[in-house]
Structure 1
Amino acid sequence: MLTTVVVVTWRGAAHITDCLDALAAQDRPHVALVVDNASDDGTAELLRRHPVRPKVLRLSRNTGFAGGIAAALSVVDTPLLAWLNDDAVPAPGWLAALEDAMAAGVAAVGSRLEYEGGVVQSLGVRLTPDGYGADHTAQAEPFGFCGGAALLRADALRAVGGVPARFFCYYEDTDTAWRLRLAGWRVTVEPKAVVRHRHGASTRPGSARFHRWNERNRLLMLLRCAPAGIALRELARFCVITATLPVRGRVPPAPNYRIGLRCRVLGEVVTALPATLWQRFVIGRRRTIGRAEIWREWACQ
């Protein structure tokens, strides 16, 4: 078996059965590993009774998707590691398509994630000129993979520093893809690897927590991976917008424009700054391609 499929769950009893049933239907042998983030909704009992008999790594607290993948990486002993959301349902040929697409020089292969009805949600991640990760839907190589369903080389992932567990969730996939590209690896997508995805079954996109993680992790990712000028520009822009919100006539209603949320994001970024700058130094030591080169190629299209 080449691949360990890692499913990270938290209170996933309402939807993880569909995911496990889909893994049982795969036509390529694999190891199934579920990382249970201290679920208290009966998920543990469901995992014990499911016919797949997945290996279970139960954590003592909720570490998020990023923390779950990071914990799994320490116990995986196959050459390939698949990330799979617990609200994702892969088609029977999903894993075979990903494994067959893993070519020389490629460290990660993303999937075709679809909404109900077959509408494309994501064919990977694109990098915007202001440093956001956004869904890539074009039939071309993406900047990064969507962590909801992807296959990675375990040795390459370890060599670039693993998964940023502190992110909890969101941007851990884009940050990982960025570090892989800095190290000279390619990231591709396999449109034949189809996954139906109930996006945000656990995290409620649009909620205050969603926006907090999104804004904080984008800034931390830029401080770790982007050219220094870009990282400082976006951090300064975030500070200026936050400072001017009280005097603006009209403010968007989204939670990421609440002053309290933005101040919390800034506080968490400042607290993490010493460790983040050290990580930036280490990432720089590992890279084989310049930060500016990656930025010009992928964020300025």
Structure 2
Amino acid sequence: MTAAAPRTTIVVVTWRGRAHITRCLDALAGQDRPHRTVIVDNASDDGTAALIAAHPSRPEVLRLPANRGYAGGLAAALPGVRTELVAWLNDDAAPEPGWLAALEDALDADPGAGAAGSALTAPDGGPASVGVRLTPLGYGADTAEPAEVFGFCGGAVLLRRAALAAAGGVPAGFFCYYEDTDTSWRLRLAGWTVRPVPAARADHLLGASTRPGSARFHLWNERNRLLMLLRCAPARVAARELARFAALTAVLPVRRLVGRPVPAAANFRLGLRLRVLGALAVRLPAAIRDRGRIGRRSVAARNEIWRTFAR
């Protein structure tokens, strides 16, 4: 009997993933649906490449000459994907054996869904995320409640390739963080829904490749949140949040000068916030052009999506 052709290409982006890439590949080898696996190696220099080459599943490898981040790695792989469905998977995630089957079945059961998100579990076994909710300030926040889901968590998700392409693909310039919430925004604007699939479980080490709470983490988070809002959100929300960020940045030195308390988190450091504003100034023309393109593709109203999900 001829084996069924795979419907899904699983794209795993790694950078210095030696400590966990074998665990991820073992989990993919245990899936009960046929699939193609593509590992995007962001110029790892820690022996990751040798571990991938030695793995018995023999995944395809796209090795990049420099680290383009998670978003850049996904964007580099997408032109080579020809299957109907494409999965994004963190290299520190290990899906359970029925993970891919649950996601494929969920999309088959819901033709209006452009993406099916996984249930990520923390190292202690507790729930970490079934998707992303949209906060009133425009942040994407992990939620363990399926009813709250606005978008998917990019750590483990299955998307319709055609829907992703029609919505504009992956924002490669984000490097990492918020590429998932931005893509969820664009899918919803294009008329697709995002479906959480609690049965599609994956263990996630969470932050194995980047350090949540670090200065770099906050730099990418703050910059990309504001870029996402400029590209996708109602204009009043994007303008409000940009003004709020700039105003707080201006106030911080005054608060310190008069002895008022300032939070210790890295995103309250003046230098980091000025770097965010500088990056936004450079990228603003492109973000405005992107906003126009996204608007021309949209069939849903930005304001209606905001009213429905921002809570």
TM normalised by structure 1 equals 0.99
Retained in 2: the 8 A contact 1:141–1:189? no
* Matched residue, 2:3: none
Q: Give the SS at the match of 2:152.
A: coil
Contact 2:133 2:148 in 1 (8 A): no
* Offset of residue 139 of structure 1: 3.2
Match of 1:294 among 272, 281, 305: 305
Partner SS for 2:80: coil
The yes-or-no answer on 1:164 pairing with 2:154 is no
When the two structures are aligned, how many residues end up with a matched partner?
300
C-alpha separation in 2, matches of 1:284 and 1:192: 34
- Aligned to 2:201, the other structure's residue is in SS state strand
Give the RMSD, CA atoms, in angstroms: 0.7
Pair 1:57 & 2:62 matched: yes
Unpaired runs of 5+ in structure 1? none
**Aligned equivalents of 1:141, 1:199: Cα separation in 2:** 21
- Supply the distance in 2 between the matched residues of 1:106 and 1:72 (Cα, whole angstroms): 22
1:80 aligns with 2:91: no
**How far off is 1:280 after superposition?**
0.2
Deviates more, 1:109-118 or 1:164-173: 109-118
Rounded to whole Å, the distance in 2 between the matches of 1:188 and 1:106 is 6
| Maintained 8 Å contact 1:113/1:195 | yes
TM norm structure 2: 0.96
What code does the residue aligned with 1:27 have? D
Deviations 1:220-251 (Å, cap 9, x if unpaired)?
Answer: 00000000000000000000000000111110
Q: Give the whole-Å Cα distance in 2 for the aligned partners of 1:33 and 1:132.
A: 30
| Bigger mean CA deviation after superposition, 153-162 or 136-145 | 136-145
Alignment partner of 1:42 out of 42, 47, 53: 47
- The one-letter amino acid of 1:6's match is V
Question: Which residue pairs with 1:234 in the alignment?
Answer: 241
The alignment-based identity, stated in percent, is: 67
- Is it true that 1:124 corresponds to 2:110 in the alignment? no
Deviations 1:161-203 (A, max 9, x none): 1000000000000000000000000001110000000001011
**Residue 140 (structure 1) shift:** 1.8
- Does the 8 A contact of 2:117 with 2:156 survive in 1? yes
Name stretches of at least 5 consecutive residues in structure 2 with no aligned partner.
Answer: 1-5
**Correspondence 1:153 to 2:164:** no
Shift of 1:46: 1.0
**Deviation at 1:141?**
5.6
After superposing the two structures, state which structure 1 stretch, 177-186 or 130-139, moved more. 130-139
Q: Match of 1:213?
A: 220
Quote the Cα distance in structure 2 between the aligned partners of 1:53 and 1:60: 21
Instruction: State the 4+ residue runs in structure 1 displaced beyond 6 angstroms.
Output: none
Shift of 1:136: 1.4
Q: Distance in 2 between matches of 1:150 and 1:57?
A: 20
Q: Which residue of 2 aligns with 1:285?
A: 296
- CA–CA separation in structure 2 for the residues paired with 1:27 and 1:185: 27
Match status 1:9 vs 2:14: yes
For 2:274, which of 263, 276, 298 is the aligned residue?
263
Q: Contact 1:108–1:152 (CA<8 Å) still a contact in 2? A: yes
2:147 is the alignment partner of 1:140: yes
